[in-house]
Amino acid sequence: MKNTRLVLALVVSGAVALTACGGTTKDSSSQQSGGTTNAAKADPNAPMKEGLKITFLPKQVNNPYFTVAQKGAEQAGTAIKAEVKATGPSDAAASSQVTYINTAAQQKQNALVISANDANAVAPALKSARGQGLKVVTFDSDAAPDARDVFINQATSNEIAAGQVKLISEAVGGSGEIAILSATPNATNQNAWIEVMKTELAKPEYSGLKLVETAYGNDDDQTSFQKTQGLLQAHPNLKGIISPTTVGVAAAARYLSSSEYKGKVQLTGLGTPNQMRKFVQDGTVKSFALWDPTKLGYLATYTAAALASGQITGAEGEKYKAGELGEYTIGAKGEVVLGPPQVFTKDNIDKFDF
């Protein structure tokens, strides 16, 4: 039994010794490495290189949203004669993309297009991949800014929220009581949108609209369903509901379509065409919005190719052409905005499948 203690002591002390080397606290190391500097200069007139090898890495494979984005990426690949390869983990855990990032570097790909599961967990691997010459474009969900070249933002908060107010105003005919059915009370993006909506509603053109309540369905189908019911009972004069969350808008539409309020109380929000198709067709919902993931994948892939061809470096103010989507300009912090969300109505909804 003496051996036991010895071994135990060795194991533990060995581990402890490995960790001891000076006092490192949060305060003493607050200065993280700043953004990367791009030594190379952009040449806007450089031709798009052919045969570029681009890896498309979604949060997880077999996720309908990313499958649609992948279609866009492949369309861009065909347009610029690049070889686009889609790969990725089957689970959306924080760290499961790292293996695939390392593999892309190992396969000497020219660029990586990724939607990050965790902004920081992928950062070390992305930095290492960039060190090996890969251009990194994030889309949908950004990584730490110093770990990528460009981030393709689907839409700004302003565009999303202002668009939602415009849609509900059109639907209710410019006046009446409206309510918001949000996700969770502490969701960053939801709260940002709600703030912008309030600012929008204060404008003279929306003076007829009155926001009476903001309810939270917690992005849970059942809760959102019940909250919709509650809103309608609490406010008999309610004319419209905005639900800027895919879960909420679908649940609200389901309730409305089976109730006496169908067609009387208007609904709009952010939803996917496949979820909302039958409610648009049966007249419950006139219009709703969401960015088009196909375009998102297309723009991200095109941007990656532009980076790999040397047309841009990711610096603010650089302009480049993204095929059929037209010209884009890189904004602050290396961000490119796809553009206003796509509005879906009875007339165009059948063109979309996601």
Partner 1 sequence: MRNLLRWETALVFLLIVVALTGQVSTDGSFLSGGNLFYLGLDIGEIALIALPLTLVIVAGEIDLSVASVLGLSSALIGWLWNAGWSLELILPTVIVVGAICGAFNGFLVTKLGLPSLAVTIGTLALYRGLALVVLGDTAVADFPASYTAFGTTPVPGTNIPYPIVLAAILAVLFGVALHASSFGRSVYAIGANEEGARFSGIRVKRVKLILFVLAGAVAAIAGIVYTFRFSSARADNGLGLELAVVAAVLLGGVSIFGGKGSLFGVLAGVLLLGGLRNLLILQDTSTEVLTIVTGLLLLVSVLAPSITRRVGTLRKATP
What minimum distance in Å lies between the beta carbon of 43 and partner 1? 30
Give me the least distance between CB of 195 and partner 1, in Å please: 22
Report yes or no: 301 and 76 within 8 Å, Cβ to Cβ.
yes
Q: Which is nearer to partner 1, 119 or 343 (CB)?
A: 119
| Smallest separation, CB 28 to partner 1 (Å) | 8
Residue closer to partner 1 by CB (options 1, 39) is 1
Q: For Cα atoms 287, 242, 176, give the angle at the middle one, nearest 5 degrees.
A: 95
Short-list 254, 242, 338, 354, CA closest to 298 = 338
Give the nearest distance from C-beta 332 to partner 1 in angstroms: 22
Query: Please, what is the minimum distance in Å from the beta carbon of residue 247 to partner 1?
Result: 17
Collapse the DSSP code of 61 into the 3-class scheme (helix H, G, I; strand E, B; otherwise coil) and give the result: coil
Q: How far is the CB of 194 from partner 1 (least distance, A)?
A: 21
Rank residues 3 and 45 by Cβ distance to partner 1 and give the closer one: 3
- Cα 327 to chain centroid distance, Å, stands at 21
Name the residues that contact partner 1, by CB under 8 A.
Answer: 1, 3-4, 7-8, 10-12, 14-16, 18-30, 32-33, 61-62, 85, 87-90, 93-95, 98-100, 102-103, 105-107, 118-125, 127-128, 144
Contact 345, 351 (CB under 8 A): no
Nearer to partner 1, 62 or 237 (CB): 62
Closest distance of CB 53 from partner 1, Å: 11
Q: CB neighbours of 18 closer than 8 A, spacing ≥ 6? A: none
d(CA 317, CA 150): 12
Please give the Cα distance from 145 to 334 (Å, whole number): 8
Instruction: Give the residue with the Cβ less far from partner 1, 127 or 286.
Output: 127
Angle value at C-alpha 34, between 98 and 316, nearest 5 degrees: 95
Closest CA to 249 of 274, 236, 260: 274
Label each residue of 62-125 as H, E or C: CCHHHHHHHHHHHHHHHHCCCEEEECCCCCCCCCCCHHHHHHHHHCCCCEEEECCCCCCCCHHH
Which residue's CB is nearer to partner 1, number 71 or number 235? Answer: 71
DSSP for 171-239, please give it. Answer: HHTT-EEEEEEES-TT-HHHHHHHHHHHHHHTSGGGTTEEEEEEEE-TT-HHHHHHHHHHHHHH-TTEE
Nearest-approach distance from CB 158 to partner 1, in angstroms:
27
Q: DSSP letters along 320-351, please?
A: EE-GGG-EEE--GGGEEE--SPEEEETTTGGG
Our CB check for partner 1 shows the closer of 30 and 78 to be 30
Cβ distance to partner 1 smaller for residue 89 or 271: 89
